[in-house]
Structure formats: C-alpha cells, structure tokens
Amino acid sequence: MRRSAGIGAIHKQKKEQGKYKDKGSELQESQLEQMSKQLEVFRINLEEFAGKHRNEIKKNATFRRQFQEMCASIGVDPLASGKGFWSVLGIGDFYFELSVQIVEVCLATNYKNGGLISLDELRQRLIKARGRSKQHQEITIEDLLSAARKLRIFGNGFSIVPIGKGQYLVQSVPGELSMDHTAVLQQTANLGNANISISILKTHLNWDHERAKKALDHMVKEGLCWIDEQNTREILYWFPSMFSECITAR
Amino acid sequence: MTYSNWPWQYSFPPFFTIQPNLETRAKQLEAWRSLVLDYHRALKLAVLDVSEAERSELFNNAKLQRKLPSEGIIQVLESLAKNGNAEPCNKAKTRWYIYWHTLPEW
C-alpha cells in the first residue's frame, strides 16, 4: 500500500513548483526583452524608411495604396492611432486631415443634397478646397474611402453606400438606409439618371407597388429626394446628389 | 431684357412641385425667395401680378416643361412677405410689390 505524502514531501513539491514558476517568468521576461529590442530595431528601421520616403507617401497615391495593402496583409492598421509608430510616416496625419475635410464638405453641401453625396463630387470639392499646389491634388478615390471608413468610429453618422460600377455615395446624416433604399439608389445610378419612378422599380426590380412606394416615400421623408408631379405619366423622384447641375453648383 | 443668372434649382424639375417634406420645402422656398428677388432686381421690376407671373419665365421653365402652379407662387410670395420682401397691393392679393430690400432697409 502506497503511503500518502508526508509533510516533508509536500514542502519539497512546493519548492519545486516555485522554482518552475521562477524559471517560467524568467523565460517570459527574456522573451519580452527580446521583443522590445526587436520592436526598437523595427522602429529605427521604420524611421529610416520614413525619413527617406515621407514625401513620397504624401505625394504619391499609388505608393500610399501599396503601403496600405502591405499593412493590411500583415494585420496592422496604420491608421488605428495617431500614436502608433506608423504615424512617423505622416500617413496618419494625411488621412486624419482628409477625414476632417470630408466632414466639412459633407456639412457644407448638406443643405442641398440632404446629406448624400457621390464620392466623385466629394473628390472634386476636396481638390478645389485644398488649393492648387500639386502635392495636394493627388487624392484618389481609395484615399477617400479609407478616410471615410475611419469616420465610422464616431458612431453612425457616416456610411458608405456602394451603388455599383465602382461608384459610391457617402451618407453623412444618421438616417437609416435599408437594403431596399440602397437598391433604389443603385437602380437610379445604373440608369444614369437622377430620377426614378415606381414603375421603373416595378419593372427592373420586380417589386410590387407597395414596396416601391414605401421605399421612395421614406427617402422623401429623409430629405434625400424630391418629388416631381409634373411629369406626363407618373410622379418622378429626383435625387439632387445625382443631379449634375446640383453637383457642379457651388 | 433677359435674365441669365439662373440657379441650379431652376433646371431641377421637382423644384416646380411644392415639396411634401417640410425641411425640403423650407429649402425650396428659400431658393425661390432668392430667385424671385434676384430676378426682380436684375430686371428692375417692382410689381408682380400673379396671373401674369404664371406665364413669365420666372415661374415657367418652358425648356423643362415645368411651371410653378399658382398655389406655389402664392406660397413663395407669402414667405417673401413674412421676411418683409413683399406686400400685396390689393385686397385680392393678385398683385404684389416686391421689395429687393425690406422697407426698413430702404
């Protein structure tokens, strides 16, 4: 019969466990030390890189995209924080500045388009607002998309609505856009008009009358579109955000 | 004399339908107010006759085949009056004075 452990044995066991723990934390510490050393090396490398290519990042849109893609593939978000050492590159500043400008343009055009603006118009207006110097001009649609996506952190004020053919609308008021409303916008953009009607929705999307009317009425209620009762056949619903004269008006 | 300084809304068809959404309607009336004032100032007109106005290019965009119905014109005039920029000259409210500047400003 096996004797149960005596007091001496228990003490011995405890001592051993303690030793293992010490060794474990020692190992962890050395690993941590190594990690922070590596991080330091990484930072130095990056600073060197940044020193060389800072202007490149600000000026060159393709370079910016490539850099972003590289970051995405290793799971780092260079825009996540202004304190991250990626911002050494000034890439953060570039996008944060852009985000602020996007908000300004959206607010400034809100009164006429109801808070819905096409990304192309947004880009045109930004370029105009940023002045003539060459280095300010190079903003791509991708830059705007990444900047606008970051704005979502502030809550549901900004959202991006894809409307097909690589076109996007930026919505800057916290209205609710359901699948149906997005479909209406997409259909309108696809036809290349600024207007849509119940019968068009019925034929193209196979919706019944009620569904089409409900979706359109909601968008009128949100101030996204205007009704036109003087068309010969039926009521037309017009989106100022897609109406070219409205887009080019100051 | 012709007027050429049309705002973008003038070529936007639903501008000629009074909007059901109150916020949108407020924007619409605001745009109409400034258009009416601009138009009268540019052409040096001071009186607007509602029945004539229905046919004038101001409220009738022939190219677009849209015109502001007389109820709409009256709404625009009343909102102008509220700001001190218009006043009916007779009881029936068929003729209105249009003040480019409000009377205190004059």
CATH of the domain at A218: 1.10.10.10
Same domain, A163 and A181: no
Look at residues A174, A199, A215 and tell me which one is the last residue of a structural domain. Answer: A174
H helix and E strand count, chain B: 3, 5
Same domain, A210 and A225: yes
Same domain, A164 and A223: no
Instruction: Give the model's pLDDT for residue A235.
Output: 92
Mean pLDDT score, B85-95:
80
How far, in Å, CA of B6 to CA of B35, rounded? Answer: 8
Instruction: Give the model's pLDDT for residue A132.
Output: 57
Q: Which residue has the tokens 């130095």?
A: A44
Instruction: Give the model's pLDDT for residue A36.
Output: 86
User: Do residues B94 and B49 make contact, with C-beta atoms less than 8 angstroms apart?
Assistant: yes
Same domain, A112 and A149: yes
A236 touches chain B (CB under 8 A): yes
Same domain, A160 and A193: no
**Interface subset of A 131-160, CB within 8 angstroms of B:** none
The one-letter amino acid code at A230 reads Q
Same domain, A160 and A229: no
Look at residues A174, A195, A226 and tell me which one is the last residue of a structural domain. Answer: A174
User: Do residues B37 and B31 make contact, with C-beta atoms less than 8 angstroms apart?
Assistant: no
Same domain, A105 and A164: yes
A223 touches chain B (CB under 8 A): yes
pLDDT in tens, chain A (250 residues): 566 667 888 888 888 888 888 888 888 888 889 988 888 887 788 778 777 877 777 778 888 888 778 777 777 777 776 666 666 667 777 788 888 888 888 888 888 888 889 888 888 888 887 765 555 557 888 888 888 888 888 877 788 888 877 788 888 887 778 888 889 998 888 888 889 999 999 999 999 999 999 999 999 998 899 999 998 889 999 999 888 888 887 6
Q: Average pLDDT over chain B, rounded to whole?
A: 86
To the nearest whole Å, the CA of A67 is away from the closest chain B CA by: 41
Residue A48 lies in a domain: yes
Which tokens in the block code for residue A188? 């309108």
Same domain, A163 and A182: no
A234 touches chain B (CB under 8 A): no
Please answer yes or no on whether B17 and A238 come within 8 Å at the CB atom. no
Residue A1 lies in a domain: no
- Of B12, B28, B67, which has the smallest distance from its Cβ to A238's Cβ? B12
Q: Which one-letter DSSP state was computed for residue A240?
A: G
Which tokens in the block code for residue B72? 């709409």
Which one, of B69, B23, B68, B62, lies nearest residue A225 by Cα? B23
Domain that holds residue A139: 90-174
Instruction: Give the model's pLDDT for residue A214.
Output: 92
Which one, of A183, A227, A218, A221, lies nearest residue A201 by Cα? A183
Same domain, A182 and A169: no
Look at residues A112, A144, A174 and tell me which one is the last residue of a structural domain. Answer: A174
Residue A139 lies in a domain: yes
pLDDT tens digits, residue range B22-63? 989 999 999 999 999 999 888 888 888 888 888 888 899 888
Instruction: Give the model's pLDDT for residue B29.
Output: 93
Same domain, A106 and A167: yes
For residue A128, what are the contacts with CB-CB under 8 A and spacing of at least 6?
Answer: none
Residue A7 lies in a domain: no
What is the number of structural domains in chain A?
3
Please answer yes or no on whether B13 and A228 come within 8 Å at the CB atom. yes
Interface test with A, best of B6, B12, B35, B67 (most A CBs within 10 A): B12
- Of A228, A248, A249, which has the smallest distance from its Cβ to B14's Cβ? A228
Which tokens in the block code for residue B106? 């004059």
Q: Distance from CA of residue A71 to its chain's centroid?
A: 15
Same domain, A168 and A181: no
* pLDDT band (50, 70, 90) for residue B19: very high
Establish how many alpha carbons lie within 13 A of residue A191's alpha carbon, considering only the half-sphere containing its beta carbon: 18
Same domain, A165 and A195: no
pTM of this structure: 0.75
Instruction: Give the model's pLDDT for residue B26.
Output: 92
Residue A85 lies in a domain: no
Residue A2 lies in a domain: no
How far, in Å, CA of A144 to CA of A135, rounded? Answer: 16
User: CB count, 10 Å around CB of A46?
Assistant: 14
B18: pLDDT strictly greater than 90: yes
